[in-house]
């Protein structure tokens, strides 16, 4: 066993049994995004390291310890497997001047990479569906994002398991003033800080509020709150978002400790959380990041967006038994004997020409063993070709699960009749 090759820890294979669930999810996502007029884009999985450092922030867990970064041996450049999609999306929008004629509603999906400790719902390669609205300033887009996510949970059948938490981080000034108060507060209590938080006190005191250490909770609970520093504009924006949620009947909780682990946010931030996944309960998160486009070198443009963790949502769907029907062909083509084998390939192609999904039995075997395989394939029908059928230029159509109308369960006929029956009904 020791020299058996294995996948990288925290990176999963998607096997055929799980593929229908992924496809079902992806199809729902496409329908949902279309309904809101979002347009797909795809960016490379690899970017220059500097992009993520600048966008996400040097002193964040992601940049400090979770990125897969390596030096390209051919040109000495530092490269990083993308840990998230917002930075790449904004980089591409700037590079291709996407905002030249106004705001854009964009989405992307794909694998992201973070070197975290793997556990249920947390992987080193995981998948996100991300949504970004670039070039829109008003709270209406924040509200749109919350409404659309709420609709998605309904479409997936998960609405009852997921709840919304929101907060406002204010503008740069509010955060600076809050930061000053936090530094004072935590400095006066430095002896109560754990090692991680002592380090953060000097680099990024806001992140102390994110501490999961139970021993720190009381201290964090009583810390000065950012929401008290918001100016009138930030307050008005946040109130408008809340009013929008109230008007749409979407329940939420204001969580003043919600700070997010990426530095680009301002104003509204939110997380959709569940109790169904243990410690990894955030299934979707995002907010406003009005400074990022300018920060990455673009003409200043406000923006907001969010991303969801696909694996987490799929675990929820599967735990709640909200599974799509398994993949099954229309026909399993059984062929026994040399004469049958000779014509089976052509028969299968003819059936496929007519739009039917056909699995052609391969590898020989008895009639009985092939019928077992036919049954296991979950096909609706078996088409059988043996010596007799081959000699008569016919096949036998047998219903495995499918309807056979008033006909007997199995009947000999010519291939065109099979097509006629299956395409137009019995
Ligand atoms: P994030 O909170 O870092 O935000 O990630 C979004 C979601 O991705 C999380 O809520 C979680 O569901 C999922 N996720 C994150 N890490 C893992 C992991 N190791 N394993 C499995 N799932 C994971 C962002 O990435 C921002 N770019 C979101 C955003 C878009 N904000 C504005 N626009």
What does the H/E/C string look like for the chain?
Answer: CCCCCCCCCCCCCCCCCCHHHHHHHHHHHHHHHHHCCCEECCCCCEEEHHHHHHHHCCCCHHHHHHCCEEECCCCCCEEEECCCCHHHHHHHHHHCCCCCCCCEEEEEEEEEECCCCCECCECCEEEEEEEEEECCCCHHHHHHHHHHHHHHHHHHCCHHHEEEEEEECCCHHHHHHHHHHHHHHHHHCHHHCCHHHHHHHHHCHHHHHHCCCHHHHHHHHCCCCHHHHCCHHHHHHHHHHHHHHHHHCCCCEECCCCCCCCCCCEEEEEEEEECCCCCCCEEEEEEECCCHHHHCCCCCCCEEEEEEEHHHHHHHHHHCCCCCCCCCCCEEEEECCHHHHHHHHHHHHHHHHCCCCEEECCCCCCHHHHHHHHHHCCCCEEEEECHHHHHHCCEEEEECCCCCCCCCCEEEECHHHHHHHHHHCC
pTM of the model: 0.92
Q: Whose CA is nearest to atom 30 of ligand 1?
A: 306
Report the nearest atom of ligand 1 relative to the CA of 86: 27
Ligand 1 mean position, distance from CA 152 (Å): 17
pLDDT tops 60 at residue 73: yes
* Best of 285, 289, 303 for a ligand 1 pocket test (most atoms within 8 Å of beta carbon): 285
- Rounded distance between C-alpha atoms, residue 125 and residue 11, angstroms: 5
Residue of higher predicted confidence among 252 and 210: 252
Q: What is the mean pLDDT of residues 383-394?
A: 97
Q: Which residue, among 144, 134, 30, 150, has the nearest Cα to 92 in the 3D structure? A: 134
In the prediction, which pLDDT does 200 show? 87
pLDDT tops 80 at residue 245: yes
- Rounded distance between C-alpha atoms, residue 426 and residue 424, angstroms: 7
- Rounded distance between C-alpha atoms, residue 63 and residue 266, angstroms: 19
Query: What pLDDT band is residue 185 in, cutting at 50, 70 and 90?
Result: very high
In the prediction, which pLDDT does 257 show? 85
Percentage, residues of the chain above pLDDT 90: 86
Ligand 1 mean position, distance from CA 127 (Å): 9
Q: Whose CA is nearest to atom 20 of ligand 1?
A: 122
Tens digit of pLDDT for each residue in 133-181?
999 998 999 999 999 999 999 999 999 999 999 999 999 899 889 989 9
Q: Whose CA is nearest to atom 25 of ligand 1?
A: 84
Q: What is the mean pLDDT of residues 404-415?
A: 81
* Best of 82, 286, 291, 308 for a ligand 1 pocket test (most atoms within 8 Å of beta carbon): 286
Report the nearest atom of ligand 1 relative to the CA of 124: 19
Residues with CB under 6 Å of ligand 1 are 84-86, 114, 116, 121-123, 126, 128, 130, 132, 261-262, 282-286, 289, 305-309, 311-312
In the prediction, which pLDDT does 227 show? 87
Judged on CB neighbours under 10 Å (0-12, 13-18, 19+), 397 is buried
In the prediction, which pLDDT does 210 show? 77
Distance, first Cα to last Cα, the chain: 54
């Amino acid at each position: 066993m020791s020299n058996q090759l294995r996948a990288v820890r925290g990176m999963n294979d998607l096997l055929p049994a799980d593929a229908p669930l992924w496809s079902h999810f992806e199809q729902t996502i496409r329908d949902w995004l279309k309904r809101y007029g979002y347009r797909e884009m795809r960016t490379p999985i690899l970017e220059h390291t500097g992009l993520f450092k600048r966008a996400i922030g040097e002193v964040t867990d992601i940049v400090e310890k979770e990125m897969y970064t390596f030096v390209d041996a051919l040109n000495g450049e530092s490269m990083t497997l993308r840990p998230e999609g917002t930075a790449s999306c904004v980089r591409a929008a700037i590079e291709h001047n996407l905002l030249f004629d106004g705001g854009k509603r964009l989405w992307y999906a794909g694998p992201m990479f973070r070197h975290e400790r793997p556990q249920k719902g947390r992987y080193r390669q995981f998948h996100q569906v991300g949504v970004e609205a670039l070039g829109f300033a008003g709270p209406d887009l924040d509200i749109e994002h919350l409404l659309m996510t709420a609709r998605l949970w309904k479409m997936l059948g998960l609405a009852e398991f997921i709840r919304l938490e929101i907060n406002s981080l204010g503008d740069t000034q509010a955060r600076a003033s809050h930061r000053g108060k936090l530094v004072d507060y935590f400095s006066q209590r430095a002896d109560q800080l754990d090692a991680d938080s002592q380090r953060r006190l000097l680099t990024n005191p806001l992140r102390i509020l994110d501490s999961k250490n139970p021993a720190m909770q009381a201290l964090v609970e009583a810390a000065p709150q950012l929401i008290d520093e918001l100016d009138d504009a930030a307050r008005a924006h946040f109130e408008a978002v809340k009013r929008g949620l109230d008007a749409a009947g979407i329940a939420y909780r204001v969580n003043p400790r919600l700070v997010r682990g990426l530095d680009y946010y301002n104003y509204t931030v939110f997380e959709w959380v569940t109790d169904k996944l243990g410690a990894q309960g955030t299934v979707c998160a995002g907010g406003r990041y009005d400074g990022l486009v300018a920060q990455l070198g673009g003409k200043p443009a406000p923006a907001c967006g969010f991303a969801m963790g696909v694996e987490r949502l799929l675990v929820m769907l599967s735990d709640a038994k909200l599974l799509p029907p398994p993949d099954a062909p229309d026909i399993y083509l059984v062929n026994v004997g040399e004469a049958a084998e000779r014509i089976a390939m052509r028969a299968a192609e003819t059936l496929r020409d007519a739009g039917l999904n056909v699995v052609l039995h391969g590898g020989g075997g008895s009639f009985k063993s092939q019928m077992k395989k036919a049954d296991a394939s979950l096909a609706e029908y078996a088409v059988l070709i043996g010596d007799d059928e081959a000699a008569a230029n016919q096949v036998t159509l047998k219903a495995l699960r499918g309807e056979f109308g008033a006909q007997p369960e199995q009947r000999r006929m010519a291939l065109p009749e099979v097509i006629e029956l299956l395409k137009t009904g019995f």
